[in-house]
Structure 1
Amino acid sequence: MDNRQAIGSWLSGPRQTAEDMGVEFGYRGEQLGLPEHGPGSIARPGRRIAALVIDWALCMVIAYGLLAQGDTQAAGNWAVLVLLVMSILTVTTVGSTPGKRILGLRVVAEGGRRLGIGRVVVRSILLCLAIPALIWDRDGRGLHDRLSRAVQVRI
């Protein structure tokens, strides 16, 4: 019986083990004063990843068709630059990229206001580096969002 319990705790992960020991984590976004569900709540990882895939596909089409002129190797390099520019322009002006808008997401400052241009630039550069976006905190925010004090919420 002890082996099953040990294997079960290992398979369920450290969060579940801590919760079994009585640690209260709350819901994602609770520390930021966001609702648990509905508009204004933290966007789920699947929806955020899908928005990024849509944005990347759009950037690849733009890069392949307009900038790389059919060279697939160059298109990937240009697409990163297009993603950077698109992210800065759209998040600064309307609060979301085309992919985020399609999936009902918005990028806001931790207090719920619009992000300033400086924080959007930092966030966008870190997003294009990819590694910060793969490191998440317990609220589900990527390191790029955390360092720019931003949060992606449902609209």
Structure 2
Amino acid sequence: MDNRDVVGSWLSGPGEATKDMAGGDFGYRGKRLGLPEEGRGAIAPLGRRFGAIFIDWALCMVIAYGLIARGDQHAAGNWALLVFFVLSALTVSTVGFTPGKRLLGLRVVSENGGRLGAGWALARSVLLCLAVPALIWDRDGRGLHDRLARAVQVRI
């Protein structure tokens, strides 16, 4: 292998390097889970997931600042995290999406495609509030919080 191969594989990303060197073809994100590549039921794109969490966090800040903390900015952040946790746990376990996810056309489902149970939704919400598990992804684009809760975020 000459230097151009090494640089070319680096520029193409780790997936291409793995295909070239180890002969592995992982396919598209969600293939291992039996999900379609595009359209309804496909793995949710990262941009929409970030947008949904931004909408949810903004909603929780408005609730915490306006209704609970009554204008106390220092207390609002702590209350917002608690409101975010409750919002996430309740809405994901009952209807499968938060307000932000619904606005952006996303849903949280179990790995087998059904509704995520209350216990798994609660565990997912705890991990999401810790933030670090949400920043570690697998090759299907699922955050560690989703993987540990046996959940998948898909398009609806």
**Could you say whether these structures have the same fold, taking a TM-score greater than 0.5 normalized by the shorter chain as the test?**
yes
Q: Which residue of 2 aligns with 1:19?
A: 19
Q: What is the percentage of aligned positions where both structures have the same residue?
A: 71
Q: Which residue of 2 aligns with 1:89?
A: 90
Task: Report the AA paired with residue 14 of structure 1.
Answer: P
Structure 2 gap ranges (5+): none
Q: How does 1:1-150 map to 2 (within 5 A)?
A: 2-21=2-21, 22-150=23-151
CA drift of 1:16 comes to: 2.2
| C-alpha distance in 2 between matches for 1:68 and 1:12 | 49
| C-alpha distance in 2 between matches for 1:51 and 1:131 | 18
CA drift of 1:3 comes to: 4.0
SS class of match (1:32): coil
SS class of match (1:10): helix
CA drift of 1:9 comes to: 2.9
| C-alpha distance in 1 between matches for 2:31 and 2:13 | 21
| C-alpha distance in 2 between matches for 1:13 and 1:145 | 24
| C-alpha distance in 1 between matches for 2:47 and 2:97 | 16
CA drift of 1:7 comes to: 3.2
Task: Report the AA paired with residue 13 of structure 1.
Answer: G
| C-alpha distance in 2 between matches for 1:69 and 1:82 | 14
CA drift of 1:11 comes to: 3.7
Structure 1 gap ranges (5+): none
When the two chains are superposed, the root-mean-square deviation of aligned CA atoms in Å is 1.5
SS class of match (2:39): coil
SS class of match (1:26): coil
| C-alpha distance in 2 between matches for 1:66 and 1:145 | 30
CA drift of 1:4 comes to: 4.4
| C-alpha distance in 1 between matches for 2:125 and 2:113 | 19
